[in-house]
Amino acid sequence: MSDQLVTVLDWAAILCLLAGSLLSFVAAVGLMRFPDLLSRMHTAAKPQILGMLLVLVGIGLRILPVEETGVFDFGTLILVGLFQVVTVPVAGHIAARVGYRTGRIRRDLVVTDELAERLDSKHRANEGPEPDPAQG
């Protein structure tokens, strides 16, 4: 591979890594600044998915030119990306559900809450006790 191409790839890679670490940093700042658990969850999911994908692209661009076998490490990279995209939302959903049910949400910061309306009406209709969050 020509030197010029390698330089271009390196610059693209470092930009990806820079963006990824910036997302990490923003997530950490959001973790400190946001008032309740559910808002924090939004910032936390960001470096885990988009940041991770950017970093993976960066690594791929960096190891692409090294040796002939460099391309075959892409399998691992793709797998990491795939796992991350599939598992992080699941973990986030379970944490958000438990957080909501245990009252880790600031009522004064929620404008409309259609889930609370549903839980209320269900309670009033007396359809039996709510399912335990552990069953979800």
Q: Which of residues 30-59 bind other proteins (CB under 8 A)?
A: 30-35, 37-52, 55-56, 58-59
Is the CA virtual torsion 83, 84, 89, 90 positive or negative?
A: positive
Answer for the pair 81, 53: CB distance below 8 angstroms, yes or no. yes
Question: How far apart are alpha carbons 51 and 20 in whole angstroms?
Answer: 4
The residues in 64-103 that bind other proteins, with binding defined as CB under 8 A, are: 66, 69-70, 72-73, 75-80, 83-103
**Single residue of 8, 104, 121, 127 touching other proteins by CB under 8 A:** 104
**Single residue of 112, 121, 125, 127 touching other proteins by CB under 8 A:** 112
Asked if 116 is part of the footprint of other proteins (rule: CB under 8 A), the reply reads yes
Asked if 28 is part of the footprint of other proteins (rule: CB under 8 A), the reply reads yes
Question: How far apart are alpha carbons 119 and 74 in whole angstroms?
Answer: 47
Interface with other proteins: number of residues (CB under 8 A): 96
Residue 5 vs 93, nearer CB to other proteins: 93
* Closest to 96 measured CA to CA, from 23, 40, 46: 40
